[in-house]
Structure formats: structure tokens, C-alpha cells
């Protein structure tokens, strides 16, 4: 498989041996009887490339994806993340590539102390070019090999003072015959992504020594700027670790132990939590296409046991909420998004002017519309008449509504405007005030507006625990906002937290993507709906109100998004992902995206359908209703869009300055007026599903408030947009 990006899931080649494939084979690992008990848990990071502090535009300079201007920030965050993820770590080993030499006449790179002092753990930084070094921790002997110089990743490395190091290596190993030995070497002994390790004669000399000393169990390397793993034939396992300063911006935690003559090793990849910088590195660094291989688990998290078995560590499907219903063939789900509940005291003068410009409502309006939407959902009677002129002529007319009792309710992010605790308390009070039958089946995810303010007072939050704890009981739990809710025995909803606090960038950590892969694998034979605030797929139509905003946000306009690419490929490989639901764009669009056969999709349903949920607080002030049905192994998902009954507020929003300037205020088209009574009370549900919004785009100057029709109705996926009903096989 190839793609437009690459990373730690890259293709692996082991020179003279076998590759460690995604399926993880069985390995004949050589253990040594009589090896004394030893155990060490530590972190391993490499190629931090700490760089001279830049000024102005130079602060963010990058080369090959390396975040030179943010290298120290990334390294410090990865070190902190390792300690947080594994409290049992005893120390951290730095594998080399510590700093980037300063160009002549510029400031020197940050000293080692800047990184070391930021960690509560001991960071061992062996000296570059100072020859062989060894030390002992937890009964484990560590030996560090020195390069002659830090060569480019595609140039073979040479041992510094070769003969002296080889002799010293023999001497240390002769004194450690009963000790578990870990080798630290920046150049790898295997080839990863065509990056060069040691020169052939140096490599052969090292392997000859390692084969004669089977206590050498593990080699830790860097330099490749990617992850890799491979067993040296007749020798140790070589783990290659990516740089902290280039995508995927991470390091490893490692646990090794020898007991009863058996050696066990475990390694977990730890990625930077600064997903904004991770995504920026992926986009701007532009790894070459031939090296691309996203969306496959390979060597990131693995276990090596004494018997030689290597296996992936499966994350498990938690938090996995109990099913709403054990057996049920029909479920109706309402989804509202971007409620932006606002309190006036947090709105300054400039923000108030912006609200008037874009038709956004502060406190009074946001409360009124949210209350109206909730009332419609609770009553199961939904306004589907799009035109306010028609609706106001007879607000209670049955033809303006669809009767569809709702079984479950999801709020799809941007619950509040500023993320302040008082706004969140108010929103939560609305949830708690729902009737019991609805409250027990109400879920939330969060958006970029929620993950700021009170919940990210000190910048990008390192944990989602505060906001998860706040909304516990409505989906989030155990400190996570990602969760699995089985609606019934054949239909699962997976809710993803897509936010990077204080940023509006789309952000999915590698751990989250791997967790999701485990969830999808455990749900084969079911239909899976994915919900996140930020769109995972691009939209064929974007509301004009959002165009200028979106052009300034790279996760919308840039094609190279690691998170999007990996998720899209993941969904393409899993036939059970039937639909993806998102908000954030404040529009109403449905697009279908093909599951390319090259990704191994085993399904007769050739696409994943992406539903955009409109904003309640800005025009068109609506929400969506989905009805899922099952008959045997066949199922369907019907949908329609409903609108607030607060027609005066809605009209005020549509008359906002920006809509007037862009010429997007709709008016009833002739085709609609000729067929106002085409569906009676008994058939209106199906009729509205056949045309979710009762107008045709060709009759109106509207962009972004319509299901379908962009690119001749084919959307970005090249398939006609699906309107009203999708059918699939379980």
C-alpha cells in the first residue's frame, strides 16, 4: 500500500533476514540458561535535534519535516508523556542526534540541561564521539556504541575508533556473560525506510560479536526518522525509533527482564501530545510518496517473549458503554451540533460585532434555540419545512412536521461558546433536565470551543480528564472523551474526541487511531457509526460563511493531514463503517466516499457516507434525525434535517451582513411551490427523506445548506450523493 504520507507504520526491510510484518510472526529467540535475574523499565528517545532558538519566521523553520523551531518543546512533551503513561519508568536513555549544529554566526543549540532539567526522571545522554560507554541499571548491562560522526540518514555510518570499540565491546561482554545486555546505537543494524545503518564491514563485525554473546538481547537505534523492528538472524531484536522532532514525533518505553534463563521485552510507542505540531510536521515535512504507508499497525507496540513470539498489544475497546438495547430492530437517533451556548458576560465588544456580522446569537438567542431544539426532539415532532415564509403562514400545520419519536440523542461538539465552566454548567443543566427516558440515552462529544477556557487554562491540555469528568454520565468516562456506545446488538456508535485544546486543528493521536482500529476489528458483523466534531472527510459544498475561516485552517484546506489520511484508510479497510457524522462546518451536506478495493474492504457496500450536521445557533439553525432499521442481515439508515421553530431568530440569522454580501439568502423556488402538498401526514416521513430539504439547489443561490448536488451530484468521492436513505449489509 502507498499513500501520501509515512510514519512509524512504515514498510520494514531487514537486511539478510525477514521483515516483521503487521501480522507479527513467531521468532526463535535465543535465551541463555543461567542468566541472572534482571529487570529494567526505561524510556528511549533519539534524534531530538534540539536547535538554535530562532527569531521571527526562522523559529518554525523545518527541513524534511523536522520541527527545528519546536524541537525542544516536542522533546520535553514526549519525555513528560512517557513518565505519565508509564509511572514505573526508572530512567530515560537518549540514543543520539541530540542537537542540530548551529549555522555559523547563530546562537548555539539548547544545552542538554534544557531537556534534562524538564524531566523528573534521570536522562542518560551518552557523549557523542567519545568511544564505547557502558553502565548497569536494574542488573541490566547497557552498552553504547559511538558513531565516527553523525552522518545523513542515507549515508552508512562508521564506528568511531573502530578497533578500540570492537575490542572494548568484547571485553565488556566477556565480563557480563550472565547479564542481560542492551545495546544503544544510533545507526540501526536493520534497514528501515531505506535509511542506512552501519557500513557493511562494521555491521558484520558487530553481528559476529553479538552471535557469540547471546546475552545481547536488544539493540535500540534511531537515525531512520521512522519506527522499525526486526530480529537479526541468529542475534538480537533491533528496535528502531523515530525522531521526537519529525512526524510521528515520539519515543519508546521499554521493559526488559530475564528470569529463569528467558528474556522478555515489551515496547510501547509514545507520541507527543502536541498534535498541532505533529500534524504540522506531517504536512510541511512532506515525506516522499514512495515511502508512504499509513494505516497499518506494525512495530509500534509489541512484546517479545522468551519463546520468541512477537505480538501486537491490543488496546481493547474501552471505554465501552453497556448497550442501550440488547435486541432491537429499529432505532432513531437525533444529532444536534454546534449549539454554542453562550453567556453574555464572556462576550466583549469586538466579539459582539462579529456575532452580528455572521448571524450568531449570544445568550438569549442561544438559549431559545437550544430549548426549542430539545423540545422538538423530546416530543418527537420535528419541523422539516425549510422556508420561514411557508412555515409562518401556518406554524402548526401537519405538513410542516415529521412525527419521529427519538430513542437516543447525541450532541456533536461545540456545546458551549467559550468553554467557560459557567457555560458548561448551564449546558449540563439542560442535559440533566431532560426527561428520564431521553436523559439516559443522551451522549456528547466535545469540540474546539469546549476544549478551551476553563478546560485548558494553561494552553493545550495534556489530558482530556477534566472535560471527561465534567460530562461523565453522558458518554465520556474514565478520563476519556472517546467511547463506544452499542445502541443495540447490531448497531454501534463510536464517539471520537477530535479536538486539540485551544486550537481548531483536527487532531487524532496514533494511540487513538490504534484504539479505534481495535474497536472496529471487534465489531465485525455489525454496523458502525462514527461521530466526531471535526469532519474526517472533506465536504463537497462548504457554506460561504465558513470559506474565509476554513482557508486559514490547514486541517480543512491542506490535503496532507496524517489524522485524516489514516482514518480514511482505516474506514476503507473496514466494511462495517457505514457512516461518519460530524459538525463544525455549520452546513448540511451528505457525501459518499468509496472503499477502494486496494485497501482490502470486505464489504458489498462500496462507500462510507459522511453526514454533516448543521449548526443550531447559525443559519440554517437545524439538526438531523437518523432512523436505523434491520431486517435479517439487511439494514438501512434513513435521515432528514429539521429546523428550529424560532423563525424570527432564524430569519435574523439569515439576514446577517455576511449573507447579504455573499447573496445567499434563499427564497422559495418554483418547483417547490408547485408541489407543496405532495406528501400527506402518513407519508411525509418517507417523502422528506427522499428530499431531506424541500428545495432544489438549482432553484436557489445557496451553497452548503443542501444534501448533495455538488460536482453534478458526485461529491468528492466520485459517487452520486446519497439523499434520504442508505442501505447496507451486516
pLDDT tens, position by position, 286-325: 544 433 444 455 445 555 555 555 566 666 656 788 889 9
Q: What is the mean pLDDT of residues 612-620?
A: 90
Helix (H) or strand (E) holding 377, with range, is helix 363-379
The secondary structure of 226-261 as a DSSP string is: S-EEEEPTTS-EEEE---SSSTT-EEEEEEEEEETT
pLDDT at 309: 58
Sheet holding 262-271: strands in order across?
Answer: 122-124, 91-94, 38-45, 250-259, 262-271, 302-304, 310-312
Q: Could you read off the pLDDT of 425-468 as tens digits, one per residue?
A: 999 999 999 999 999 999 999 998 898 878 876 555 557 888 89
Grid coordinates representing 89 are: 519508568
Backbone angles phi, psi at 637, to 5 degrees: -130, 110
Q: Give 273's pLDDT tier (boundaries 50, 70, 90).
A: confident
DSSP category for residue 120: S
128, pLDDT greater than 60: no
Mean pLDDT of the residues in the chain: 77
Query: Do 172 and 134 contact (CB within 8 A), yes or no?
Result: yes
- pLDDT of amino acid 40: 95
Report the C-alpha gap between 218 and 221 in whole angstroms: 10
- Percent with pLDDT over 90 in the chain: 39
665 vs 515, higher pLDDT: 515
What lies within 8 Å, CB to CB, of 349 at 6+ separation is none
Rounded CA-CA distance 143/159 in Å is 14
Query: Which pLDDT value is given to residue 596?
Result: 56
Handedness of CA 445, 448, 454, 455 (dihedral sign): positive
Closest residue by Cα to residue 153 from 69, 210, 224: 224
Bigger pLDDT: 178 vs 606:
178
Q: Which has the minimum average pLDDT: 32-36, 94-98, 163-167? A: 32-36
Look-up of cell digits 461518519: 580
Decide: 132 and 168 in contact? Cβ < 8 Å: yes
Specify which residues 480 forms β-bridges with: 477
Which of the two residues, 632 and 55, has the higher pLDDT score? Answer: 632
Per-residue 3-state assignment (H helix, E strand, C coil) for 354-371? HHHHHCCCCHHHHHHHHH
- Rounded CA-CA distance 32/41 in Å is 20
**Confidence at residue 728, expressed as pLDDT on a 0 to 100 scale:** 86
18-35: buried (b, 16+ CB within 10 Å) or exposed (e) per residue?
A: ebbeeebeebebbbbeeb
Burial (0-12, 13-18, 19+ Cβ within 10 Å), 303: middle
Rounded to 10°, the helix 162-174/200-212 angle is 10
- Extract the C-alpha cell encoding 652: 435574523
Q: Would the pLDDT of 412 be above 70? A: yes
Q: What 3-state class would DSSP assign to 517?
A: helix
> What percent of the chain shows pLDDT beyond 70?
71
Lowest mean pLDDT of 50-59, 225-234, 381-390, name the range.
50-59
For residue 339, give the 3-state DSSP assignment: coil
pTM, rounded to two decimals: 0.82
Give me the pLDDT at residue 231, please. Answer: 79
pLDDT for 326-350, tens place per residue?
Answer: 889 999 999 999 999 999 999 999 9
Residue 318's pLDDT is 64
Gap between the Cα atoms of 92 and 71, Å rounded: 18
Cβ neighbours for 406, distance < 8 A, ≥ 6 positions apart: 332, 333, 334, 377, 378, 380, 438, 625
Please name the residue that has the C-alpha cell 505540531: 277
478-509 as b/e: b if 16+ CB within 10 A: eebbbbbbbbbebbbbbbbbbbbbbbbbbbbb
Looking at per-residue pLDDT, the higher value among 362 and 709 belongs to 362
Determine the Cα angle at 318 with ends 599 and 578, to 5°: 35
Using the 8-state DSSP alphabet, how is residue 678 labeled?
S
pLDDT band at 382 (very low <50, low <70, confident <90, very high): very high
- Using the predicted structure, report yes or no on whether residue 711 has a pLDDT greater than 80: no
Closest CA relative to residue 78, chosen from 265, 268, 252, 240: 252
Taking the C-alpha atoms of residue 673 and residue 670, their distance in angstroms, rounded to an integer, is: 5
Q: Is residue 689 within a helix (H) or strand (E), and if so which, with residue range?
A: helix 684-690
Select from 211, 98, 201 the least CA-distant residue to 157.
201
Query: What confidence tens digit (pLDDT) does each residue in 233-271 have?
Result: 778 888 889 899 988 899 999 999 888 778 888 888 888
Q: Out of 11-15, 143-147, 704-708, which region has the weakest mean confidence (pLDDT)?
A: 11-15
Among 464-473, 573-582, 596-605, the range scoring the smallest mean pLDDT is 596-605
Helix (H/G/I), strand (E/B), else coil: 60: helix
**Whole-number pLDDT of residue 650:** 92
546/408: higher pLDDT? 408
Instruction: Band the pLDDT of 701: cuts 50, 70, 90.
Output: very low
For residues 710 and 703, give the distance between their C-alpha atoms in angstroms, rounded to a whole number.
9
The Cβ of residue 49 has, within 10 Å, a number of other Cβ atoms equal to 24
What's the mean pLDDT in 574-596? 83
Say whether pLDDT at 501 is over 70. Answer: no
Q: Higher model confidence: residue 701 or residue 113?
A: 113
Rounded to whole angstroms, the Cα distance separating 237 from 223 reads 17
What was the pLDDT predicted at 20? 36
Q: Residue 350, exposed/middle/buried by CB under 10 A (0-12, 13-18, 19+)?
A: exposed
DSSP state of 540: S
What is the structure's pLDDT at 263? 84
Rounded to an integer, the average pLDDT of 558-567 is: 72
Burial of 353 by CB count in 10 Å (0-12 exposed, 13-18 middle, 19+ buried)?
exposed
Predicted confidence band of residue 690 (pLDDT cuts 50, 70, 90): very low
Residue 649, pLDDT score: 95
Q: Alpha helices of 471-535 — where are they, by DSSP H?
A: 510-521
Cα torsion at 145, 146, 152, 157 (round to 10°)? -70
pLDDT at 699: 33
Kindly list the distances between the CA atom of residue 609 and the CA atoms of 134, 531, 641, 665, in Å, as whole numbers in the listed order.
57, 12, 16, 28
Q: Which residue has the higher pLDDT, 531 or 317?
A: 531
Q: Which of 2-11, 401-410, 460-469, 595-604 has the highest mean pLDDT?
A: 401-410
The DSSP code for 322 is P
Overall average pLDDT of the 562-583 stretch: 86
pLDDT at 54: 52
pLDDT for the residue numbered 1: 26
Amino acid at each position: 500500500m502507498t499513500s501520501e504520507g509515512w510514519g512509524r507504520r512504515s514498510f520494514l526491510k531487514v537486511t539478510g533476514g525477514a521483515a516483521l510484518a503487521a501480522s507479527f510472526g513467531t521468532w526463535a529467540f535465543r535465551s541463555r540458561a543461567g542468566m541472572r535475574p534482571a529487570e529494567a523499565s526505561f524510556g528511549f528517545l533519539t534524534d531530538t535535534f534540539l536547535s538554535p532558538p530562532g527569531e521571527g519566521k526562522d523559529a518554525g523553520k523545518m527541513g524534511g519535516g523536522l520541527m527545528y523551531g519546536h524541537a525542544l518543546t516536542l522533546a520535553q512533551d514526549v519525555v513528560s508523556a512517557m513518565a505519565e503513561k508509564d509511572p514505573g519508568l526508572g530512567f530515560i536513555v537518549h540514543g543520539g542526534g541530540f542537537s542540530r549544529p548551529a549555522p555559523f554566526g547563530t546562537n548555539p543549540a539548547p544545552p542538554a540541561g534544557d531537556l534534562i532539567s524538564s524531566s523528573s526522571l534521570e536522562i542518560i545522554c551518552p557523549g557523542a564521539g567519545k568511544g564505547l560507554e557502558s553502565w548497569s541499571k536494574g542488573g541490566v548491562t547497557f552498552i553504547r556504541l559511538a558513531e565516527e560522526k553523525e552522518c545523513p540518514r542515507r549515508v552508512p555510518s562508521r564506528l568511531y575508533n573502530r578497533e578500540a570499540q570492537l575490542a572494548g565491546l568484547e571485553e565488556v561482554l566477556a565480563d557480563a556473560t550472565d547479564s542481560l545486555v542492551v545495546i544503544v546505537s544510533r545507526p540501526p543494524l536493520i534497514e528501515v525506510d531505506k535509511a542506512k545503518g552501519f557500513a557493511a564491514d562494521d555491521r558484520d563485525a558487530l553481528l559476529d560479536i553479538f552471535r557469540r554473546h547471546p546475552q545481547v538481547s536488544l539493540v535500540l537505534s534511531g537515525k531512520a526518522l521512522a519506527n522499525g523492528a526486526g530480529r537479526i538472524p541468529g542475534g538480537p531484536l533491533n528496535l528502531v525509533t523515530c525522531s521526537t522532532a519529525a512526524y510521528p514525533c515520539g519515543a519508546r518505553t521499554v521493559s526488559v527482564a530475564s528470569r529463569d534463563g528467558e528474556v522478555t521485552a515489551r515496547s510501547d510507542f509514545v507520541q507527543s501530545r502536541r498534535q498541532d505540531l505533529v500534524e504540522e510536521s506531517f504536512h510541511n515535512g512532506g515525506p516522499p510518496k514512495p515511502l508512504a504507508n499509513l494505516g497499518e499497525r506494525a512495530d509500534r507496540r509489541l512484546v517479545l517473549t522468551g519463546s520468541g513470539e512477537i505480538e501486537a498489544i491490543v488496546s481493547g475497546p474501552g471505554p465501552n458503554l453497556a448497550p442501550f438495547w440488547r435486541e432491537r430492530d429499529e432505532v432513531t437517533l437525533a444529532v444536534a451540533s454546534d449549539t454554542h451556548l453562550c453567556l453574555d458576560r464572556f462576550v466583549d465588544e469586538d466579539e459582539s460585532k462579529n456575532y452580528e456580522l455572521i448571524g450568531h446569537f449570544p445568550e438569549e438567542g442561544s438559549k431559545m434555540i437550544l430549548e426549542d431544539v430539545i423540545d422538538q426532539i423530546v416530543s418527537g415532532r420535528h419541523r422539516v419545512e425549510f422556508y420561514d415564509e411557508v412555515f409562518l403562514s401556518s406554524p402548526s400545520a401537519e405538513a410542516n412536521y415529521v412525527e419521529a419519536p427519538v430513542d437516543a440523542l447525541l450532541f456533536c461538539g461545540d456545546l458551549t461558546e467559550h468553554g467557560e465552566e459557567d457555560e458548561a454548567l448551564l449546558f449540563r443543566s439542560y442535559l440533566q433536565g431532560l426527561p428520564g427516558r431521553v436523559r439516559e440515552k443522551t451522549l456528547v462529544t466535545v469540540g474546539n470551543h469546549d476544549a478551551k477556557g476553563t478546560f485548558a487554562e494553561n494552553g493545550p491540555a495534556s489530558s482530556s480528564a477534566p472535560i471527561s469528568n465534567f460530562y461523565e454520565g453522558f458518554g465520556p468516562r474514565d478520563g476519556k472523551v472517546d467511547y463506544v456506545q452499542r445502541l443495540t446488538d447490531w448497531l454501534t456508535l463510536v464517539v471520537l474526541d477530535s479536538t486539540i485544546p485551544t486550537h481548531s486543528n483536527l487532531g487524532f493521536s496514533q494511540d487513538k487511531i490504534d484504539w479505534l482500529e481495535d474497536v472496529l476489528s471487534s465489531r465485525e458483523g455489525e454496523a458502525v457509526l462514527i461521530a466526531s466534531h471535526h469532519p474526517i472527510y472533506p465536504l463537497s459544498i462548504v457554506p460561504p460563511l465558513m470559506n474565509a475561516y476554513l482557508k486559514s485552517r490547514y486541517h480543512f484546506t491542506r490535503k496532507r493531514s496524517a489524522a485524516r489520511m489514516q482514518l480514511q484508510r482505516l474506514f476503507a479497510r473496514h466494511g462495517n463503517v457505514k457512516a461518519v457524522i460530524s459538525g463544525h462546518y455549520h452546513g448540511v451536506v451528505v457525501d459518499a466516499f468509496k472503499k477502494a478495493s486496494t485497501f482490502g474492504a470486505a464489504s458489498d457496500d462500496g462507500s462510507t457516507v459522511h453526514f454533516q450536521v448543521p449548526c443550531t445557533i447559525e443559519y440554517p439553525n437545524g439538526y438531523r434525525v437518523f432512523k436505523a432499521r434491520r431486517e435479517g442481515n439487511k439494514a438501512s439508515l434513513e435521515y432528514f434535517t429539521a429546523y428550529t421553530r424560532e423563525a424570527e431568530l432564524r430569519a435574523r440569522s439569515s439576514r446577517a451582513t455576511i449573507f447579504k454580501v455573499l447573496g445567499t439568502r434563499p427564497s422559495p423556488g418554483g418547483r417547490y411551490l408547485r408541489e407543496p402538498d405532495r406528501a400527506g401526514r402518513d407519508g411525509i416521513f418517507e417523502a422528506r427523506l427522499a428530499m431531506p430539504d424541500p428545495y432544489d439547489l438549482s432553484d436557489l443561490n445557496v451553497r452548503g445548506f443542501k444534501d448533495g448536488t455538488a460536482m453534478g451530484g458526485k461529491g468528492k468521492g466520485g459517487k452520486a450523493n446519497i439523499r434520504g436513505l442508505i442501505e447496507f449489509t451486516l
